[in-house]
Amino acid sequence: MSSHERNLLLRDAADRAAAYLAALDERAVGADPDAVARLAKALDQPLPNGPTDAASILTFLDEAASPATVASAGGRYFGFVTGGALPVTLAANVLAGAWDQNCFSYVSSPAIACIEAAALRWLKDVLRLPGGAEGALCTGATMANFTCLAAARNTVLADVGWDVDRDGLFGAPAINVVVGAEAHSTLYKVLSMLGLGRERVVTVPADAEGRMRADALPHLDGPTIVCLQAGNVNSGAFDPAEEIIPWAHAAGAWVHVDGAFGLWALASPALADLVAGYPNADSWGTDAHKWLNVPYDCGVALVRDADALARAMTITGAYLIKSDQRDALNFTPDSSRRARSVEVWAALKSLGRNGLVAMIERNCRQARHLADGLRIAGHDVLNDVVLNQVVVAFGDDAKTNAVISDIQAGGEIWCSGTHWHGRDAMRISVSSWATTDADIERALAAIVATVSRRYGE
Ligand SMILES: Cc1ncc(COP(=O)(O)O)c(C=O)c1O
């Protein structure tokens, strides 16, 4: 391909991407089932023996796949906990794609090593976490929790004289893992991947909002990891860290925080009560692809004891010449990886501290406004809306599920379903920079109209 053809191709990609984003406001939010079916049919072809020209590949992707996508980059997507991508992060992502840096070590990409160091420093600053903590940028909160809990596991066993790195878990002293009754489902997968078992956890009962009950904590003895949750995936509630962390530390336990989206509340002075005590934990996992609004994928693991993270993740190899620089592969579960730090740095630089706080507080205000509107319309808001999450039911489970299906098919907004406190419910998560107050009014009107269309209420 000539450089002229390459330029045309990249400009075409940029034009198509811009047109896609510009059309988001007009299109249905959910994936169009007919477009998905057409795409699947079009893809049902044998691998070609010969080449296909690049421009026609891009045309195919745009014409066949763009209409089949979920419009989660727009302001009216409230499914799961999904951030959009700030424009500067998308642009930075394109540039970083051109760089195609492998950022496993300093020498493999000195530029990305510098950007990653700056991004991690700003993350700790904006989240008010200890400046000496070490970090890793990984795929998401699942792997961020894995990274932190690997450091936790190795450390609590090292404290009783067991080298899990060398000897594995066979014959190791048992580790008590304490979780709340509403710990996120991915945390159990992480525990299983770490050999700690999904089912041998000690479960602390939760209160009505899904918070660990500080009055029901177990007696602790021996190597222990306590997993707190900052942001219940349904209610958005926070475990009471101020009470739990001193209790856990008094028993020598490691405290980890799963703050996939809730950890971002640490940036906001207005949410200080919610996050009280959280900076005192030993490790924190979060997602930048949620509330920092960078493109997928990007999780962040931070560990107070930098050596603990390094001990769990360091590798050596003949071709990996030791340097006196920070080599990222000694802190992450992966080795070769993409330059996630570019988008993290770009997001923090473009928002600034105040911009990040404003985005978080705006989304929280929007969630409260939605909840108030739903209550006024007579619907059951099931949670105390302390953050960006609203859980709402529309009568019995059958009615609620019918409304969720109608809303998803209607295209005006998209929300996911959940099961909470014995009831099926709809979850609304307001997590995007792109969500305007007008989008919230549209969402409210769409929900109220959908219920009354179906049930005449
Ligand atoms: C509390 C919590 N933990 C972990 C996760 C997993 O995050 P990811 O899908 O980015 O790995 C989520 C996702 O919503 C979450 O809400």
My answer on whether 33 and 123 are in the same domain is: no
My answer on whether 21 and 53 are in the same domain is: yes
pLDDT of residue 125: 98
My answer on whether 164 and 254 are in the same domain is: yes
CA 232 from centroid of its chain's CA atoms: 12
My answer on whether 252 and 326 are in the same domain is: yes
My answer on whether 187 and 126 are in the same domain is: yes
142 CA: nearest ligand 1 atom: 11
* Domain count within the chain: 2
Average pLDDT, the chain: 97
Closest-CA residue, ligand 1 atom 16, reads 233
Would 376 be classed as within a structural domain? Answer: no
**158 CB burial (10 A radius; 0-12, 13-18, 19+):** middle
Would 409 be classed as within a structural domain? Answer: no
Mean pLDDT, residues 144-163? 98
Decide: 151 and 309 in contact? Cβ < 8 Å.
Answer: yes
pLDDT of residue 113: 97
pLDDT in tens, 303-317: 999 999 999 999 877
pLDDT in tens, 123-143: 999 999 999 999 999 999 999
Mean pLDDT, residues 257-263? 98
Confidence of residue 65 (pLDDT cuts 50, 70, 90): very high
pLDDT in tens, 441-453: 999 999 999 999 9
Would 309 be classed as within a structural domain? Answer: yes
Domain encompassing residue 62: 3-69
Distances (CA, A) of 171 to 149, 156, 167, 213: 19, 15, 9, 33
* Residue to substitute in 82, 185, 186, 191 for testing ligand 1 pocket (most ligand atoms within 8 angstroms of CB): 186
Would 301 be classed as within a structural domain? Answer: yes
* Residue to substitute in 72, 80, 209, 233 for testing ligand 1 pocket (most ligand atoms within 8 angstroms of CB): 233
The rounded percent of the chain whose pLDDT value lies above 70 is 99
pLDDT of residue 361: 98
pLDDT at 318 over 70: no
CA of 264 to the centre of ligand 1 (A): 13
pLDDT of residue 315: 85
Residue tagged 């078992």 (tokens):
197
231 CA: nearest ligand 1 atom: 1
CA of 260 to the centre of ligand 1 (A): 5
The rounded percent of the chain whose pLDDT value lies above 90 is 97
Would 413 be classed as within a structural domain? Answer: no
pLDDT of residue 370: 98
81 CA: nearest ligand 1 atom: 14
pLDDT in tens, 329-387: 999 999 999 999 999 999 999 999 999 999 999 999 999 999 999 999 999 999 999 99
Can you point out the beta strands (E) in 297-407?
299-303, 380-381, 389-393
Would 224 be classed as within a structural domain? Answer: yes
> Ligand 1 pocket: which residues have CB below 6 Å?
81, 140-142, 184, 186, 229, 231, 233, 258, 260-261, 287, 299
pLDDT in tens, 209-221: 999 999 999 999 9
CA of 233 to the centre of ligand 1 (A): 8
My answer on whether 56 and 134 are in the same domain is: no
Mean pLDDT, residues 236-255? 98
Decide: 298 and 137 in contact? Cβ < 8 Å.
Answer: yes
Closest-CA residue, ligand 1 atom 3, reads 260
Would 220 be classed as within a structural domain? Answer: yes
My answer on whether 106 and 143 are in the same domain is: yes
My answer on whether 112 and 214 are in the same domain is: yes
Q: What is the pTM of this model?
A: 0.97
My answer on whether 61 and 111 are in the same domain is: no
My answer on whether 185 and 142 are in the same domain is: yes
